[in-house]
Amino acid sequence: MGFLQPLFLWGLVGIIIPVLIHLFSRKKSIPYYFSTIKFIKLMRKRTIRRQRLEEILVLLLRSVLVASLFMAAAQPVSKKAFLTEKESWVVLVLDDSASMSAATENPWKNLQEASEKILATLKKGTHVAAIFTSGRLIPFSTSSQQIAKQIREGHAGFHGQTLQPAMEQAFSMLEKKIGYKKIFLITDMQKTAWENFSPSGLRKVNPDITIVDAGEDENHINITIKDFYPVAGKNTYVCEITNWSKQEITTELKITADRYETVKSITIPERKTTEIEVKIESDCQTIKVEIPYPDALKADNIFYLQKETGEQKKVLAAGCEGPCLSYTKASMESAGTISVDTKNINELYNIVLEKYRTILLVNPQKLGFELRQKIMEYINGGGTLVYFLGDRVAYKDFNSDWEAQEVEEFFMPAKIKGKSEFLKPGRVAWVATAHPLFSEFGERTIDFLKTTRFNACFSVKEVTGDILMKLDNGYPLLLEKRRGKGKIFLFTFTPQHPWTNFQTKPFFPVMMTVMVESLSGFTYPTSVGDPVVVKGSENAAAVSIINPQGEINIITNTSKTPVSYIPDIPGIWTSVFSSGKGQQKQITAVNIPYREGNLSKISHGEVRPIFRKMHVSFINKNRMQKIILAEATGGQMMAFFLEMALAILIAELILSNIFAFVKERGSKNV
């Protein structure tokens, strides 16, 4: 027998407590004087013998009760039951996310060591499988040595946490197996991996679960480049840097853009995300941002951005036919760099939305569920939605339709109350002049809008986005919200009379053009592990995917649907294919998920409630020798001692009552 939590064995010292209670609770006899004590002496001997027997029994029971409780808390395990099972099924769930390569002592090495020790202690004939959080699977095999070799040759990747699907797959693989079932989860216990983790899909199987903590202490210094994006104004960018550490960091920001290079000194406060404005003195296609700082995780110190090709930027506009849609389309096409496709709402169901950098919905009728889901996926994947409210938008439908049930959050920047018509026309009183839409004009934006009048707009409530324009009567005109990798711009009016004369003013086409230009200037970076759709490849026979290391993978397209691939390393990826327009090329900047830089850990106490009613044990990387015991039926041994403690407690209560009854009866006889 061994123990997974031997620290609790110190509690066995508590056995001395019942002994001390026994010694100090003994009463001294009070002397009484009688004429003859012949019969009293005889009765005293019988009483003392009975009392001593009672006290010894109660002392023994209480001592065993204390010992049983602390033995159960120490999580005893025995290999006897495990070795007697006819068949044994073990699944290793291995965390190979980016955070596993952090720190000086690589957690991935701890994972490999733990895996080898687990596999070495399994009995011959045990069926073993391994699931990596990156999606790689080693199916069930009785050759532990072969599985150990594949794990030894592997490495931590650059993807984000996908613990939930990996655990669900492990449970699914064990669901119909008969015999002893065990899951080993080996991870660095990164807290972000457990956010929104739900055990709802893990109820069909109840295996033993052992979680091996292969991570480092969380007192690491680590900084992450969260984002790098262009803003309005020539060659101006904003770099968002997050300092996860508990100390201020001063370092350098190095920017390499084609043949241009610059270095800037920066200071990031502790536990803060800092925005740093950068100007690059040349027009460039590819930008690499780097922080050469010796922190715990190096991969998230680099960020890539790629500019789109110089062809026209395509925008999709849909809504009710009429002046408002015509005004909106004409305002953007006047720039000459934007191509606008106008479609009916019902046509959007069969259109690949990812072909467009921006989608405009101008006073649309009620959208069906499938279309709403399609638009949500488009925005989360990096697309932009510009939404103009009008008479055909019912506020009750709008508020219920855009409720994102899966995350219990409203998808749009605000809910709407209803249309408000003004007795006195409203004027623009405030504009977020620092925003990319208006920063090129600055404080002059208000001057450009002096002659603009608004006779009506929608009132809003429960605002979850940022307000960018506001009337003098307090009504917001434009709100913005970032969702996933994309953005939503919500206009509380429709560009036509009698709502407003804004669409007839020179600033309206300028604002719409700047909006599309600023959003379409660069491809929005994707993350390692996220699927990338090659736009326009639905009719291509094959697509060549070139990774940042120059390796080429050719994907044949027999289904006549857009080709997609999943990047596994950060950098600039290139997709090349032939179509009716000649050879096409798509450039995609890929970065590691910035949340991997947060190396804070979750405690064992926070994990236990997630797997309620399941037996879960924990092993620290510093106690790897205990792994040899972890595959045993620890839950049964622990339950045995708990049941013993309960039985002793009941026995002690019964005996105490019997002794009290006998004593009382004896007193009456005397």
CA distance 367 to 668: 89
Residues 473 and 611 in one domain: no
Host H or E run for residue 212: strand 208-213
Contact between 467 and 492 under an 8 Å Cβ cutoff? The reply is no
515, 546, 569 - which closes a domain: 515
CA 137 → CA 92, 94, 131, distances in Å?
10, 10, 5
- Does residue 520 belong to any structural domain of this protein? no
Q: Residue 348 and residue 277: Cα distance in Å, rounded?
A: 38
Q: Would 69 be classed as within a structural domain?
A: yes
In terms of domains, do 330 and 405 share one? yes
| 293 and 317 assigned to the same domain | no
Residue 456: inside a domain: yes
Q: Do 439 and 367 belong to one domain?
A: yes
CA-to-CA separations, 148 to 141, 211, 518, in angstroms, rounded: 11, 18, 51
pLDDT at residue 301, as a whole number = 95
pLDDT value, residue 574: 92
> How many domains is the chain built from?
5
State the first-to-last Cα distance of the chain, in angstroms, to the nearest integer: 53
The predicted structure's pLDDT at residue 632? 44
**Residue at 567: amino acid letter:** P
Domain assignment of residue 282, yes or no: yes
Residue the block writes with tokens 């655990």: 167
Alpha-carbon span 70 to 9, nearest angstrom: 6
**454 CB neighbour count, 10 Å cutoff:** 21
Q: What is the CATH number of the domain that holds 260?
A: 2.60.40.2150
Q: Find out whether 79 and 633 touch, Cβ atoms under 8 Å.
A: no
Q: Which pLDDT score, from 0 to 100, does residue 622 have?
A: 65
CATH for 548: 2.60.40.10
Which residues have C-beta within 8 Å of that of residue 294, sequence separation ≥ 6?
Answer: none
322 and 405, same domain (yes or no): yes
Output the domain CATH number for residue 210: 3.40.50.410
User: Per-residue DSSP letters for 431-493?
Assistant: E-TTSTTTTTTTTHHHHHTTT--EEEEEEEES--SEEEEEETTS-EEEEEEEETTEEEEEESS
Task: Please indicate, yes or no, if residue 521 is contained in any of the structural domains.
Answer: no
Residue 484 is part of a domain; what is its CATH number? 3.40.50.880
- Consecutive 10-residue runs of the chain (670 residues): their mean pLDDT? 62 69 60 55 59 74 76 63 64 95 83 90 90 94 93 92 90 88 93 83 76 83 89 73 94 88 92 88 82 92 79 76 78 72 86 82 89 88 87 90 73 93 94 80 86 95 93 94 85 92 88 70 76 87 94 91 92 89 85 92 89 82 58 54 77 76 60
Burial class (CB in 10 A: 0-12, 13-18, 19+), 281: exposed
- pLDDT tens digits, residue range 613-652? 788 888 886 665 555 554 444 445 666 677 777 788 788 7
Query: Residue 551 falls within a domain, yes or no?
Result: yes
Q: What's the rounded Cα separation, in Å, for the pair 83 and 352?
A: 56
In this structure, the answer to whether residues 569 and 603 fall within a common structural domain is no
DSSP letter, residue 119: H
Q: Which among 481, 531, 593 has a CA at the least distance from the CA of 192?
A: 593
| Dihedral angle of Cα 270, 273, 279, 283, to the nearest 10 degrees | 130
Token pair for 270 = 């502790």
Give residue 38's pLDDT. 52
608 Cβ contact partners less than 8 Å away, ≥ 6 residues apart: 616
The residue among 484, 515, 546 that closes a domain is 515
Q: Are residue 355 and residue 262 in the same domain, yes or no?
A: no
The angle at the Cα of 381, spanning 547 to 400, to the nearest 5 degrees, equals 170
- The range of the structural domain enclosing residue 73 comes to 2-78+638-669
Instruction: Centre a 10 Å sphere on the Cβ of residue 333 and count the other Cβ atoms it contains.
Output: 17
Could you tell me if 394 and 419 are in contact, meaning their C-beta atoms sit under 8 angstroms apart?
A: no
Q: Identify whether residues 610 and 658 lie together within a single domain.
A: no
Q: Do 74 and 85 reside in the same domain of the chain? A: no
Domain end residue (candidates: 254, 281, 308): 308
Statement to judge: residues 359 and 462 lie in one domain: yes
Query: Is 399 a member of any domain?
Result: yes
Beta strands in 322-413 (DSSP E): 338-343, 358-362, 384-388, 403-404, 409-410
Q: Are residues 371 and 451 in the same domain?
A: yes
Q: How far is CA 195 from CA 163, 164, 407, 598, 602, in A?
A: 10, 10, 12, 13, 10
My answer on whether 344 and 459 are in the same domain is yes
Q: Quote the distance between the C-alpha of residue 346 and its chain's center.
A: 35
CA angle 247, 190, 209 (to 5 degrees): 150
pLDDT digits (tens, 9 = 90+) for 386-425: 999 999 899 889 998 898 665 567 899 999 999 999 999 9
In a domain, 304, yes or no: yes
> Residue 157: what pLDDT?
92
